[in-house]
Structure formats: structure tokens, C-alpha cells
């Protein structure tokens, strides 16, 4: 029988899991499964450690943090309405397992291998026997209840959907604090306790926030916006993703039988739609880096060159070109590819434009404000939040360092011409 288990967490301090409570015994059992232990080998911030050297934490630590946040919120809501206790197994299980479907380097692999981590989290909960059997032991409907929270678009008004998968959920409340801490930045200092203390229930049974919590929510959303612009969408992250995408694109098109790939990664590269649970769980950061290192030393060019760039952080360059018109962007890209070709490098592999979109705050998928009389969407209550609903786009020209002077001169030339126009 389990006793109390303590996780010493840099964000939430002591996270104590108590074996005297069935819902927390379930959490202990889920933590010990192979699928959850695998999250120790998945970096929370993907390639961000190549920019912020402290960004080495894992999806394991984040997932336990999300459980901790969910439990704090649960205790607050049960004080308001004791009937909310019926949701504790679903809430705790979903909070802990929400990221169990991540691939190597977290969100990076979603772009490289085109898989969806929420779909895989749902699949593992329903089809991976160790997880499924633990959940069913406490409630035979638990896998279905948790899986719906990850994928269903018809549960927006469901209180648990708000806490597990919305614009202001347990996941975001933990990762802004955690990622800010691990990157050594001060952007993500969310007032977690203020937000939790302001939570309440709305007349429709959903979870809402009292007016006293709106400023803390404004602060949270501003910090989230800054974190995306400075950390999650950092140009080095975009360059690394570009390199990995081109490595695997080139392997798919030309190098299937020309380089060594183990059976597990081969299924990820060539048959992602028919990937089975065993091969999914067998892939992690360790396996991916092993292949990249091996290809660096033993593969033909350009695969070896791209792998060396990534492994040794000898990366391509990137220039922000948001200010250029679409015509000027295309002219710059053509110029960059011409210059790249002069150095006997493949211009389509080592040069291109990467567009990135950051979606603004979606008020229809979030908490609402309840003042005791009326229920309002946050962007109607706060002019500042309304501004944050706007989407943002970023354009980067990615190119090799050998043509950096040429690119800088060309950008200056295009800027001057646009002023004359």
C-alpha cells in the first residue's frame, strides 16, 4: 500500500499525494505507469534549451504541476458547492494525463511528425491497458469521461472542460509559471492564488470568475502573450523546427533505404497514421537524439549537414521580415536562394520563409465573469482583454550564415525602396 508521497517542486514547493484518499492513490498508480514515466524523457520546452540553457525540465514535472493546480482549484470549488466532489476522479486524472500523448521534443514533434498530442492522450487512456485498467478500477466510465475533455468541442460549458482545455486552464496556469522559472525570465509570474480565490460557479453550472479576479486574469493573458512572443515562438526555436522538418522531409523523399533507421522511428516517419501504441511509447527525446547523432556521423549529405547543425547548435540564421510586403518577401526569398546556391547548398533545404501565427485570446472558450447578477465574456468586461483577442503573425527568412551580409544589405535596400514608394 502506498504511503504519502512528496514531490519537491520548484514552483508549487511540496506536492503531497496522500494514500488515505482513493483519488490520490489513483494518481500514484498512474504516475508509476510506463506511459507516464516516459514523460521524464520528453522536454517540456522542446528545443528552447538551445536558447535558454535552463529549459531542461520535462513533461513529467509539468504534468504533476498541473495536477497540483487542479487539486487547489478543486478544493476551492468544493467549498462553494460540495456537489463538485463528484468530479474529483475525472478532474485529477485528466489533469495528470493531459500531456501523456506528447511525442519527442513536445510540440516540436507535432510539426515534424504531424501528430496531435491530444488525440494520442485520448487514445492511450482508452487503449493502453496499464492506464485504462487503473482508471476503470475507480470508475468504469472514467476513460471515456477523461477522453472527452481532451477532444470534444461540445463541452465548452462543462465545468471540467474549462479547467482542462480552455484559454485559462490548469495546464496554462502551471506552464506559464514553470516555463518562466526554467528559462530564467520574469514574464510568467502569474498570481495563481488570486485567480483561484476569485473562482465561482455561474448560474448555468459553469465555472466563472468574480470581478475581483479580472485584473489577475488580465495580467495572466498579457504574460501569456509575452511568453509566446519571446520564448515559445523565439526565432531559434523556429530555426530548429525548420531544420528537423527538412531532415525528415528529405528522408521521406530520397533516403528511405540509404540511412539506418530503427523500426520504431521508421514507423513514426513513414506510417504516422497507422502508428501503434508500442511504437508510440517507444519514441522519446533519447531515441530521437540518438538517430540525429548517428546520422550526423554516418549519413550522406545533406542529412549529415542538417543533423550537425542541430546537434552542435551551428544553426541557420533568421531575419524578421514582418515589415515587408508580400512581393518584397518573395523577392528577398529568391535573392537568398540564388546566393545560397552559389555556395553549392540546396536552396530549398537551407533557405525559406517560415510563417508563424499566434492566436489571440478566444473569449468563447474561457471563463466568464459573474458579478452575482449578470454573466459576461471577459473581453466585454475588460477593454485590455479585448485587445488581446487579436491574432498576431510573424514572418522569418531562414538562411545560411555564409550569406548573412548579402541578406542584411538586401533587406536595407528593400526598406529604402518601400519608403520611396
pLDDT of 1 strictly over 70:
no
Handedness of CA 398, 403, 406, 409 (dihedral sign): positive
Cβ(62)–Cβ(44) below 8 Å: yes
| Grid cell listed for 63 | 504534468
- Long-range Cβ contacts of 342-345 (<8 Å, 24+ apart): 343/400, 343/402, 343/403, 345/302, 345/400
User: How confident is the model over 367-373, as a mean pLDDT?
Assistant: 93
Look at residue 353 and tell me whether its pLDDT is greater than 90: yes
Domain ranges of the chain: 5-194, 234-313
> What pLDDT shows up at residue 392?
87
Q: Rounded to 10 degrees, what is the CA torsion of 156, 121, 36, 129? A: 120
Most confident of the following: 1-15, 155-169, 388-402, 406-420: 388-402
Distance of CA 287 to the CA centre of its chain: 20
Nearest residue to 306 via CA among 326, 292, 324, 325:
292
Given this model, what pLDDT does residue 362 score?
86
Domain 5-194 annotated CATH 1.10.3210.10: yes
372 vs 1: CA distance, rounded Å: 46
**361 neighbors 167 (Cβ within 8 angstroms):** yes
Per DSSP bridges, beta strands 375-377 and 368-370 are: antiparallel
Question: What three-state secondary structure class fits 394?
Answer: strand
- Give the cell for residue 210: 468574480
Cβ atoms < 10 Å from Cβ of 1: 4
pLDDT digits (tens, 9 = 90+) for 196-236: 999 999 998 899 999 999 999 999 999 999 999 999 999 99
Q: Is 375 exposed, middle or buried, given 0-12, 13-18 or 19+ CB atoms closer than 10 A?
A: middle
pLDDT (tens digit, 9 = 90+) per residue, 115-154?
899 999 999 999 999 999 999 999 999 999 999 998 755 5
Kindly report whether the peptide bond that precedes residue 115 is cis, defined as omega within 30 degrees of 0.
Answer: no
Which three cell numbers, joined as nine digits, stand for 99? 500531456
Distance, in Å, from the CA atom of 154 to the CA atom of 156, rounded to the nearest integer, reads 6
Beta bridge partners, 9, equal 13
pLDDT confidence band for 420 (50 / 70 / 90): low
Which residue has cell 517507444? 282
Beta strands in 131-220 (DSSP E): 199-201, 207-209
3-class state of residue 282 by DSSP: helix
The pLDDT value given to residue 26: 98
Compute the Cα dihedral for 361, 120, 29, 152 and give only its sign. Answer: positive
Distance (Å) of CA 180 to CA 141, 231, 401:
37, 9, 30
Sorted by sequence, the CB contacts under 8 Å of residue 153 that are 6+ apart come out as none
How do residues 66-123 score in pLDDT, each as one tens digit?
Answer: 999 999 999 999 999 999 999 999 999 999 999 999 999 999 999 999 889 999 999 9
CB atoms within 10 A of CB 200: 19
Q: How many other C-beta atoms lie within 10 A of the C-beta of residue 315? A: 19
66: CB partners within 8 A, 6+ apart: 95, 96, 98, 99, 170, 171, 174, 175
Q: In this predicted structure, what is the pLDDT of residue 340? A: 96
User: What φ, ψ does residue 14 adopt, rounded to 5°?
Assistant: -80, 120
Report in angstroms the alpha-carbon separations of 373 from 12, 203, 357.
Answer: 35, 9, 37
CA 203 to chain centroid: 33
CA distance 199 to 71: 14
Amino acid at each position: 500500500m502506498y504511503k504519502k508521497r512528496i514531490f519537491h517542486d520548484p514552483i508549487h514547493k511540496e506536492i503531497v499525494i496522500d494514500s488515505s484518499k482513493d483519488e490520490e492513490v489513483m494518481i500514484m498508480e498512474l504516475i508509476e505507469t510506463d506511459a507516464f514515466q516516459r514523460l521524464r524523457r520528453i522536454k517540456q520546452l522542446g528545443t528552447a534549451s538551445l536558447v535558454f540553457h535552463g529549459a531542461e525540465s520535462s513533461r513529467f514535472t509539468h504534468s504533476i504541476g498541473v495536477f497540483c493546480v487542479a487539486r487547489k482549484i478543486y478544493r476551492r470549488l468544493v467549498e462553494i458547492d460540495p456537489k463538485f466532489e463528484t468530479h474529483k476522479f475525472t478532474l485529477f486524472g485528466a489533469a495528470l494525463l493531459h500531456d501523456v500523448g506528447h511525442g519527442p521534443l513536445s510540440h516540436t514533434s507535432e510539426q515534424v511528425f504531424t501528430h496531435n498530442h491530444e488525440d494520442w492522450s485520448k487514445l492511450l487512456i482508452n487503449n493502453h491497458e496499464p492506464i485504462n485498467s487503473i482508471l476503470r478500477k475507480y470508475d468504469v466510465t472514467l476513460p471515456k469521461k477523461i477522453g472527452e475533455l481532451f477532444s470534444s468541442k461540445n463541452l465548452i460549458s462543462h465545468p471540467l472542460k474549462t479547467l482542462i482545455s480552455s484559454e485559462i486552464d490548469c495546464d496554462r496556469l502551471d506552464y506559464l509559471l514553470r516555463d518562466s522559472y526554467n528559462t530564467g525570465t520574469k514574464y510568467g509570474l502569474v498570481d495563481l492564488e488570486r485567480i483561484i480565490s476569485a473562482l465561482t460557479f455561474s448560474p448555468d453550472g459553469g465555472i466563472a470568475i468574480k470581478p475581483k479576479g479580472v485584473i489577475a486574469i488580465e495580467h495572466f493573458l498579457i504574460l501569456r502573450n509575452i511568453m509566446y512572443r519571446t520564448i515559445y515562438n523565439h526565432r531559434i526555436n523556429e530555426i530548429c523546427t525548420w531544420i528537423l522538418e527538412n531532415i525528415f522531409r528529405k528522408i521521406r523523399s530520397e533516403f528511405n533505404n540509404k540511412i539506418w533507421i530503427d523500426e520504431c522511428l521508421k514507423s513514426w516517419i513513414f506510417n504516422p497514421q497507422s502508428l501503434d501504441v508500442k511504437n508510440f511509447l517507444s519514441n522519446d527525446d533519447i531515441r530521437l537524439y540518438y538517430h540525429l547523432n548517428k546520422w550526423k556521423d554516418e549519413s550522406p549529405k545533406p542529412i549529415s549537414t542538417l543533423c550537425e547543425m542541430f546537434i552542435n547548435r551551428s544553426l541557420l540564421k533568421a531575419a524578421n521580415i514582418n515589415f515587408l510586403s508580400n512581393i518584397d518577401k518573395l523577392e528577398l526569398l529568391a535573392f537568398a536562394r540564388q546566393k545560397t546556391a552559389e555556395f553549392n547548398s540546396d536552396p530549398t533545404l537551407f533557405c525559406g520563409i517560415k510563417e508563424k501565427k499566434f492566436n489571440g485570446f478566444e473569449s468563447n472558450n474561457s471563463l466568464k465573469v459573474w458579478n452575482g447578477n449578470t454573466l459576461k465574456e471577459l473581453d466585454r468586461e475588460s477593454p485590455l482583454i479585448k485587445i488581446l483577442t487579436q491574432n498576431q503573425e510573424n514572418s522569418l527568412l531562414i538562411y545560411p550564415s555564409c550569406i548573412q551580409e548579402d541578406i542584411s544589405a538586401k533587406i536595407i535596400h528593400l526598406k529604402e525602396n518601400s519608403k520611396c514608394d
